[in-house]
Amino acid sequence: MIRSATLPLQTPLPSLGDNNRLKLFSGSANVELAREVARYLGIDLGPMVRKRFADGEVYIQIQESIRGCDVYLIQPTCYPVNDHLMELLIMIDACRRASARQITAVIPYYGYARADRKTAGRESITAKLVANLMTKAGANRVLAMDLHSAQIQGYFDIPCDHVYGSPVVIDYIASKKLSDIVVVSPDVGGVARARAFAKKLDDAPLAIIDKRRQAHNVAEVMNVIGDVAGKTAVLVDDMIDTAGTICEGARILKQEGARQVYACATHAVFSPPAVERLSSGLFEEVIITNTIPMMDTRRFPQLRVLSVANLLGETIWRIHEESSVSIMFR
């Protein structure tokens, strides 16, 4: 089991306690997650002035010397995506102009990732565009979690560490001691993710939902490939947006005889009407992580939020100490 999934948040890393060259700053997107990461590392979040002008322009000022330091900026580009993305770019630029030795953009949720290729003429590949913006702003490295597709790592012309939230979710699923588990991919594109998830759950069997998408955020489920009758189905995806795909998947799984259905995802985007769909009784539990902050108005009884702060903190420590990151997931 990886160290970050098991160490308590209150346990600092002693090797970082006296290291004043590691600096951690947070944007406004998910300050609570950044505080948990800082607590894991045994350091404080760096002081920073963040405000807006009357016309909405963002102003950032780093309020301590970071000359020659390794700076880590924690900022998921979640809703409102454009505001949080622009804030991250300004933070990067401020650190570059303050002579930071290395700037790492820590992006628990990478927005604009769904447009990762051209599926029709005259489309933008926004996943590459955002990568270019971060590089041009002055980022030296990116740490991202559960990118929408693995090839996005190649869109960066700087080192990109891609980590996964699945160990935290797998730990939780394993602790429930569920019987007759079958891991289900909600579409063909997520098979690799679901297969890796199933392997960590004692090589649980795998099923796939075949669907045909008619438009953005609209999915039509066709059939299930695999045996789910009488079993506990665990639907695995990287994100839940409007929840149309995962709820249609749950319906057909129950039609095919699944005894229980659990939904697991790293990123809880939860665009309307996701909460209404997810709380309609289709799922025993909806298990997500805190890469995106969860407002109280979006919580419902079946929701379970797990923290990835230890995992991110461990990864930051390993990058700073120049040790292996990939070994955490073996």
Q: Please identify every residue annotated as catalytic.
A: 211
Q: Say how far apart CA 16 and CA 201 lie, in whole Å.
A: 33
Q: Say how far apart CA 289 and CA 30 lie, in whole Å.
A: 12
Distances (CA, A) of 175 to 6, 159, 170, 202, 206: 13, 35, 8, 13, 20
Angle (nearest 5°) at CA 78 between 274 and 1 = 85
SS (H, E, C) 61-76: EECCCCCCCEEEEECC
**DSSP secondary structure code for residue 45 in this structure:** B
Angle (nearest 5°) at CA 48 between 132 and 33 = 75
Query: 139: exposed, middle or buried (C-beta count within 10 Å: 0-12, 13-18, 19+)?
Result: buried
